[in-house]
């Protein structure tokens, strides 16, 4: 059978992508169908944050985007096109959540020495541990610290069950009981394991419940 001509391929590719482009663009502007297309409502803390704070329009007209997508379909372009709206990026989060005291800044983990760690926990992006449109405020496992702290040594360790012991016992679910991740809470880590926050309290927080580290935060997200 003869291969279809490039022109025929182009027309088909155009027809295939147009509905998605138009639908996605339309849906993001229609309040009543917005949440039906998205996976679910925003987390409570983001009440009032506009869709456009996180979903940025891509550059170029629909026509240019369709042309670029056709090039992708026929193999002249390496990546598919973001139709109308680009994938959400950490930059959008940082616009409201950048803070000078960050203990684990995402850019640090682009260094090659973290290549193995980021295969376990995608620490280079906010979305490696957070999402949106779902009930959880944190999507990572509560044992995530293991990916980077297996060689942990704390000098003059003040903890009654020292860190070397916690690590030897693979007690990775204990860490968040005494340390928040971002270092953004005025929370002093206790030195007795019995005084650590309980695991259920941490899980409830991940699922959208009360913040167990308590107020005040050193930096609050910017008001929408
Ligand atoms: C705080 C940031 C944020 C806000 C505000 C936000 N979104 Fe999202 N949205 C995301 C993230 C992150 C994803 C990708 C994760 C996922 O698939 O759930 C996403 C995914 C989506 C998707 C699925 C398509 C895709 O690109 O994966 C749709 C549709 C969507 N959002 C619509 C909306 C609408 C409509 C609003 C306003 C009511 C909104 N979003 C507000 C962050 C946000
Ligand atoms: C328009 C500003 C704005 C944007 C954009 C934004 N946030 Fe927020 N976020 C806030 C505010 C305000 C709060 C509530 C105050 C606080 O907890 O700091 C908040 C709270 C949170 C919380 C804590 C929720 C809780 O219940 O304790 C998380 C987690 C979070 N944001 C993650 C993200 C991520 C991830 C993104 C990017 C996908 C993002 N935010 C984008 C303003 C924003
Ligand atoms: C490697 C996993 C990971 C990454 C990457 C990550 N977070 Fe978090 N984040 C957590 C965990 C775990 C918590 C809960 C513990 C805490 O409150 O620090 C949290 C809590 C939060 C909170 C609520 C507490 C606070 O500090 O105000 C906000 C807001 C937040 N993250 C925003 C972000 C933003 C913005 C990014 C990207 C710049 C990001 N996170 C990247 C794991 C991560
Ligand atoms: C992707 C890698 C990675 C993950 C995951 C990770 N950390 Fe870290 N953490 C680091 C690095 C790198 C440092 C900086 C070490 C240094 O500067 O010597 C650090 C530093 C720290 C510090 C000391 C901060 C300071 O101010 O000196 C604490 C406490 C800490 N991490 C706790 C945790 C806890 C608790 C978890 C799990 C919730 C965790 N980390 C997960 C890489 C990581
Ligand atoms: C019982 C509470 C407790 C538990 C559990 C705990 N820590 Fe700590 N951690 C502390 C205290 C107290 C310090 C001393 C420094 C301080 O006050 O911040 C410390 C220090 C650290 C430091 C060095 C900070 C610095 O300033 O040099 C890191 C990194 C760290 N812990 C990571 C972890 C990890 C990873 C886990 C899980 C295996 C963990 N911790 C479990 C209480 C705890």
Domain boundaries, the chain: 6-87, 92-206
- The neighbour count for residue 16, using CB atoms within 10 Å, is 12
Residue 6: its pLDDT value, please?
Answer: 55
Ligand nearest, relative to CA of residue 55? 1
Residue 38: its pLDDT value, please?
Answer: 59
Among 55, 93, 128, 137, the mutation site with the greatest number of ligand 1 atoms within 8 A of its Cβ is 55
Q: Is the CB of 152 under 6 A from ligand 1?
A: no
* Number of the ligand 2 atom closest to the C-alpha atom of 90: 37
* Number of the ligand 1 atom closest to the C-alpha atom of 35: 35
Residue 191: its pLDDT value, please?
Answer: 98
Q: Whose CA is nearest to atom 1 of ligand 3?
A: 123
In this structure, what token pair is assigned to residue 88? 């959400």
Helix axes 6-27, 62-73, angle to 10 degrees: 130
CA 204–ligand 1 middle distance (angstroms): 23
Residue 58: its pLDDT value, please?
Answer: 81
Longest dimension (CA), the chain: 76
In this structure, what token pair is assigned to residue 122? 């995608």
* Number of the ligand 2 atom closest to the C-alpha atom of 93: 37
In this structure, what token pair is assigned to residue 112? 């090659």
Q: Whose CA is nearest to atom 24 of ligand 1?
A: 38
CA 214–ligand 1 middle distance (angstroms): 28
- Smallest CA-to-CA distance from 132 within 185, 57, 53 is with 53
Model-wide pTM > 0.95: no
Task: Tell me how far apart the alpha carbons of residues 49 and 21 are, in angstroms, rounded to a whole number.
Answer: 24
Task: Tell me how far apart the alpha carbons of residues 48 and 28 are, in angstroms, rounded to a whole number.
Answer: 15
Residue 37: its pLDDT value, please?
Answer: 56
Residue 33: its pLDDT value, please?
Answer: 44
The ranges of the chain with pLDDT < 70 are 1-38
Task: Tell me how far apart the alpha carbons of residues 190 and 161 are, in angstroms, rounded to a whole number.
Answer: 11
DSSP 46: G
- The neighbour count for residue 107, using CB atoms within 10 Å, is 10
Q: What is the pLDDT of residues 139-177, one digit of tens each?
A: 999 999 999 999 999 999 999 999 999 999 999 999 999
Cα–Cα separations (whole angstroms), residue 43 to 67, 133, 135? 36, 7, 6
CA 43–ligand 2 middle distance (angstroms): 8
CA 41–ligand 4 middle distance (angstroms): 31
């Amino acid at each position: 059978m003869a291969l279809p001509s490039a022109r025929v391929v182009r027309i088909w590719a155009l027809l295939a992508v147009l509905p998605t482009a138009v639908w996605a663009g339309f849906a993001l502007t229609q309040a009543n169908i917005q949440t039906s297309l998205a996976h679910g409502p925003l987390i409570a803390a983001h009440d009032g944050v506009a869709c456009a704070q996180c979903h940025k329009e891509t550059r170029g007209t629909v026509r240019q985007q369709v042309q670029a997508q056709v090039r992708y379909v026929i193999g002249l372009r390496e990546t598919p096109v973001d139709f109308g709206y680009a994938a959400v990026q950490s930059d959008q989060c940082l616009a409201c959540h950048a803070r000078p005291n960050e203990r684990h800044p995402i850019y640090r983990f682009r260094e090659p020495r973290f290549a193995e760690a980021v295969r376990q926990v995608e620490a280079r992006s906010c979305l490696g541990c957070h999402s949106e449109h779902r009930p959880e405020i944190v999507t990572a496992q509560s044992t995530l610290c293991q990916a980077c702290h297996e060689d942990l040594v704390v000098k003059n360790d003040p903890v009654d069950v020292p860190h070397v012991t916690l690590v030897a016992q693979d007690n990775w679910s204990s860490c968040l009981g005494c340390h928040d991740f971002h270092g953004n809470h005025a929370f002093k880590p206790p030195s007795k394991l019995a005084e650590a926050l309980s695991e259920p309290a941490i899980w409830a927080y991940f699922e959208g419940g009360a913040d167990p580290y308590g107020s005040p935060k050193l930096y609050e997200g910017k008001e929408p």
